[in-house]
């Protein structure tokens, strides 16, 4: 009381105060069913932290639409379902960038556990996730996303991806078959797939499934100081009646565009994917990259994805290059050009956009491989997993390499003598 400010106030009591039927002349009392009751206001929406966070996040995106991009489709972004294969350095960054763009449905797939070395580079994990052997990355990442933004529908899936060059025993075959079926269901139930794994061969099966189902597919891959971000082209049998993303606006076909199909991650390979870790020493089995590389590649991957959603032609859009005009002709897409591949280097602090069309001998997306998969299903997948040369034989890469080895080039080793007075020139 010593520190309190005490003020005396004189309040005049209204007449008839002792009458129980008296209704004081005060704000907030309203007549309801011939009775005067107090008026209540529900402040839950204004006080609930979850609703406040959702409102603030949506407001930021709405400001983008009001001030900079009137065509920004927030409903499409909030309804699209994204599957992130790999919850490591790339997966953590991609998930956060997707949430920033308003994506609310995210599934993370990984079978690894959080290690002590992970939290510094993988932004969704903390030291607590590393204790007691480490939590599964997929579950820990989904939990972290919900802590960051409670309105997100994030879930984790723990499973190993069957890979070519990693043969399975008879005892493991049932587990691999179950994993293939489970991955098929996940790809089928999502609109877009991000390939963010460490090894090349782990991207093969998701690439094949996406090509068969005609899903939006984004790949991000890292070197020590270089990166690749690319979008896969539509599947070889894409058509207006094929199953496409539920968020596609125009549902165009490749024939409607009259262009060539863009390639996938494996279209430039002349060898089938195989075990890339078997002969590595322990120090070589860990991905070594400059710390700033993953955030750059992840941001570009998400920006590329959002540009696909807002392009008039969607995943069927042709590949643009830097400073090129829009592939649609007259008007530019709302978010600028839509490249096929983005390759960058931190060594030179450079970046370039490239276009690569699909290959008839691709081990993942060519019509021969997709047709064989649709025809034989799990039998085809087991053949590709257990026999390293199966895909090369099927696509004709084996014959191509034989032809290259049998090609002999005769070099003329004769040296011509030139006088000192002759001009210093060589005829080529």
CB 186 within 8 A of CB 407: no
Question: Are 212 and 235 a contacting pair, CB within 8 Å?
Answer: yes
Say how far apart CA 192 and CA 21 lie, in whole Å. 66
Residue written as token pair 């899936």: 157
Contact yes or no for 179/68 (Cβ under 8 A):
no
188: Cβ contacts below 8 Å, ≥ 6 apart: 213
Annotated catalytic residue within 130, 210, 267, 286: 286
Cα–Cα dist 227/281, whole Å: 23
The angle formed by the CA atoms of residues 323, 192 and 286, to the nearest 5 degrees, is: 85
Q: How many CB atoms lie within 10 A of CB 421?
A: 5
The CA dihedral of 365, 367, 371, 372, to the nearest 10 degrees, is -70
Assess whether 286 carries a catalytic annotation.
Answer: yes
Residues 151, 53: Cα–Cα separation, whole Å: 8
The CA distances from residue 104 to 4, 99, 152, 369, 372, in Å, are 50, 6, 5, 34, 36
CA 224 – CA 233 distance, rounded (Å)? 27
Query: What distance in Å separates the CA atoms of residue 65 and residue 77, rounded to the nearest whole number?
Result: 13
CB atoms under 10 Å from CB of 149, counted, come to 16
| Burial class of residue 361 (count of CB atoms within 10 Å of its CB; 0-12, 13-18, 19+) | buried
Rounded to whole angstroms, what are the CA distances from 322 to 104, 178, 223, 303, 314? 31, 43, 23, 15, 19
Can you read off the two tokens belonging to residue 190? 């999502």
Of 104, 105, 90, nearest to 299 by C-alpha is: 90
Which residues are identified as catalytic?
A: 286
């Amino acid at each position: 009381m010593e520190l309190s400010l005490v003020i005396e106030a004189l309040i005049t009591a209204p007449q008839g105060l002792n009458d129980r039927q008296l209704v004081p002349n005060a704000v907030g009392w309203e007549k309801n069913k011939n009775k005067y009751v107090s008026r209540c206001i529900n402040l839950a929406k204004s006080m609930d932290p979850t609703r406040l966070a959702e409102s603030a996040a949506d407001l930021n995106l709405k400001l983008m639409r009001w001030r900079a991009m009137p065509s920004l489709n927030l409903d499409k972004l909030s309804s699209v379902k994204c599957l992130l294969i790999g919850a490591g350095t790339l997966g953590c960054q991609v998930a956060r960038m997707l949430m920033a763009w308003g994506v609310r449905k995210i599934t993370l797939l990984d079978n690894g556990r959080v290690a002590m070395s992970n939290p510094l580079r993988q932004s969704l994990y903390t030291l607590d996730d590393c204790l007691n052997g480490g939590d599964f990355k997929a579950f820990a990442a989904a939990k972290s996303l919900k802590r960051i933004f409670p309105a997100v529908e994030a879930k984790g899936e723990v499973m190993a991806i069957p890979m070519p060059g990693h043969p399975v025993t008879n005892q493991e075959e049932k587990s691999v078959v179950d994993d293939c079926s489970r991955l098929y269901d996940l790809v089928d139930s999502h609109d877009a797939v991000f390939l963010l794994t460490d090894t090349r061969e782990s991207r093969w099966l998701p690439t094949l499934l996406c090509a068969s189902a005609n899903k939006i597919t984004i790949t991000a891959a890292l070197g020590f100081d270089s990166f690749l971000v690319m979008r896969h082209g539509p599947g070889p049998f894409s058509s207006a009646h094929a199953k496409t993303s539920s968020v596609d606006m125009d549902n165009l076909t490749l024939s409607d565009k009259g262009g060539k199909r863009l390639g996938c991650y494996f279209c430039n390979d002349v060898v089938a994917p195989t075990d890339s870790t078997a002969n590595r020493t322990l120090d070589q089995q860990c991905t070594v990259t400059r710390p700033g590389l993953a955030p750059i590649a992840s941001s570009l991957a998400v920006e590329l994805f959002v540009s696909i959603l807002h392009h008039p032609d969607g995943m069927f859009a042709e590949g643009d290059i830097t400073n090129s005009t829009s592939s649609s002709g007259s008007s530019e897409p709302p978010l600028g050009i839509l490249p096929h591949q983005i390759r960058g280097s931190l060594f030179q602090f450079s970046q370039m956009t490239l276009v690569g069309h699909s290959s008839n001998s691709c081990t993942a997306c060519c019509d021969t491989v997709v047709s064989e998969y649709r025809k034989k299903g799990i039998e085809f997948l087991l053949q590709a997993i257990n026999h390293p040369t199966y895909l090369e034989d099927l696509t004709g890469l084996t014959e191509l390499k034989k032809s290259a080895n049998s090609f002999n080039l005769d070099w003329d080793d004769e040296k011509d003598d030139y006088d000192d007075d002759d001009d210093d020139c060589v005829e080529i």
